[in-house]
Structure 1
Amino acid sequence: MARARGSARGSDRGGGGRVFRRAVADGFPPARLPAPVQVNALESFERLIGARCEAPLPLLEAAASVALYARQDFDPAQVVQTVRTWGERLRARIAPDASSVSRLRMLNHFYFDELGFGPDEDDYYCVDNSYLHRVVERRAGIPITLSLLYIEIGRAIGLKLAGVGFPGHFLVKLAMSEGALFIDVFGRGQTLSAEALRARLKAVLRGSDEPPLAPYLRAASEREVLARLLRNLKAIHAENEDWPALLEIQHRLVALLPDVPEERR
């Protein structure tokens, strides 16, 4: 992995004033420097994810709460409410009989053009790209965080969306009666053919044999998505040698996957 960069400082790709105005308009302030927290952030996270590994969890709430350990003034509920409001706003525009393809087009226009979300190609490994509140504030992220928000808004308008833990690059799956579409949200909503997916898989696995595609295209559970997000953060904090932050993420991985010994290392 390339050398990680960034912190809660927020690299806004030259749009600091624009980011500030967007953040205030959405109902929460831009990130400030970390301060000591007065609540037990880990206990809050554990309550959200629940005790049983097989039980579903509220992914948006859990992902938003990850940053609670670093910020006294941070309210994850404001992030959740902002995303839910976006979903309600888009749902009000859609006719009840609109097809899945029509809804998908409207989602792409709303998410990428109106809200202005897009890939952070300039500073991919900036830690801000993996903390959900900073992705919402900056409108920039990496495949998994952009996809998580895209899925939440898409489900609000009736699309059967799920994350796909594709090797090397998180994707989104749209289930339809005609079959499934696979979407690269980091690629601004590009749909991927079977040939394109095979080429990506072969490039990542680097094997001489052509691997079967189907096992890599199953829908990921909420717990699997959250675990992948946390592992990304763990790797970035390790590269930055931010050991206190890494330890906080490690605690959350152990709480999320208590039966996985590898997460205790």
Structure 2
Amino acid sequence: MEPSGAFRALLSGDEQAMELDAAALELSTLHTGYTDPAPALRQLDEWAGQIEEMLMPGAAGAHFLSAVNRVLFDGAGLRGDAEDYYAAENSCLPLVIERRKGLPITLSVIYLEVARRLSRPVYGVALPAHFVCQYNDGLVRVYVDVFDQGRLLTEDDCLEKLSELTARPGLRETVQFTPCEKRSIVARMLRNLWSSYRRAGDNARASQVEYWLRLVTP
């Protein structure tokens, strides 16, 4: 299976080549084969519309964050898949939307793309062994743990969680809370999918993912 020209361009560094939701949907075809992207995109549109209906014009960041949690986590029931964390399905955006559970990064893609539709300043942040979203409008700066149903975190909270996940001391000096490029997010999703296949002993599919990963420009 060959990636599209737009997907290749994104992995080569052209951040304008395609939107993150479209890239995540194309990535999922490595596992599902061709799947009509329209239902997943329509669901993202619907969630964004529900959030928008809850907000007054110019609503503050705190109101936005509350509305997102009510729609995505309380209403839609999005959550982390702690029971079968390494399942390949957790890296496939349409399946995560359908099953309402997935990996931190795939759930973050949902959060990021809903926020993009509403022109809100939300960014992905790649941490060791975890992935969170950051909301930062200059007044409100907070991290969102989408795996934990939208729990709001400070940097200290993030570091405490990482210490629990990795059992590594000294993380405070090494962790960077830098917003990710789309290319980096997609590459990390590919690596997660590769890891799922390797764990399952599916070397043929793992090799296909490796082929796509080789397109990532350092």
Q: Return the TM-score normalized by structure 2.
A: 0.88
2:20 partner letter: L
**Residue in structure 2 matched with residue 146 of structure 1 by the alignment:** 107
Q: 3-state SS of the aligned residue for 2:214?
A: helix
Is contact 1:116-1:139 (8 Å) kept? yes
Deviation at 1:192, TM superposition (A): 1.5
Preserved CA contact (<8 Å) 2:31 2:92: no
State which drifts further: 171-180 or 224-233: 171-180
Contact 1:173 1:181 in 2 (8 A): yes
Partner residue in 2 for 1:135: 96
| Residue of structure 2 in register with 1:75 after alignment | 36
| Residue aligning to 2:135 | 174
Partner SS state of residue 170, structure 1? strand
Residue number in structure 2 paired with 1:18: none
| Alpha-carbon distance change, 79 to 51 in structure 1, aligned in 2, over 3 angstroms | closer
Question: Residues 163 and 173 of structure 1 are in contact (CA less than 8 Å); yes or no, is this contact kept in structure 2?
Answer: yes
Match of 2:185 among 193, 203, 225: 225
Kindly provide the CA deviation profile for residues 205-262 of structure 1, in whole angstroms up to 9, marking residues without a partner as x: 723x46326x52010010001111110010110111112211221122112x1x44xx
Q: Is 1:251 aligned to residue 211 of structure 2?
A: yes
What's the CA shift for 1:112?
0.6
Partners of 1:238 and 1:64 lie apart in 2 by 21
SS at match of 2:133: strand
How far did residue 88 of structure 1 move? 2.7
Which residue is 2:7 aligned to?
48
- Change beyond 3 A, Cα 1:103–1:49: farther
2:155 is equivalent to residue 191 of structure 1: no
The unaligned stretches of length 5 or more in structure 2 are none
RMSD of aligned Cα (Å): 2.2
Mapped contact 1:49–1:58 kept (Cα < 8 A): no
Matches within 5 A, 1:1-265: 41-44=1-4, 46-50=5-9, 53-56=12-15, 57-71=18-32, 74-203=35-164, 204=166, 206-207=168-169, 209=170, 211-212=172-173, 216-255=176-215, 257=216, 259-260=217-218
- Gapped runs of 5+ residues in structure 1? 1-40, 261-265
Matched residue type, 1:54: G
Q: Distance in 2 between matches of 1:158 and 1:50?
A: 24
- The answer on whether the counterparts of 2:197 and 2:203 sit within 8 Å (CA) in structure 1 is yes
More helix by share: 2
Distance in 2, matches of 1:232 and 1:136, equals 18
Q: Out of 182-191 and 89-98, give the one that drifted further.
A: 89-98
Aligned-partner SS, 2:172: coil
Give 1 or 2 for the bigger CA radius of gyration: 1
Q: Tell me, in whole angstroms, the C-alpha distance in 1 between the residues paired with 2:9 and 2:99.
A: 30
Distance 1:179 1:69 in 2: 38
Inter-partner Cα distance in structure 1 for 2:74 and 2:46 = 17
Q: Which region of structure 1 is more displaced relative to structure 2, 107-116 or 70-79? A: 70-79
Contact 1:119 1:186 in 2 (8 A): yes
1:66 counterpart letter in structure 2: L
How many residues were matched structurally? 215
Residue 133 to residue 210, structure 1, CA distance change in 2 (3 Å): closer
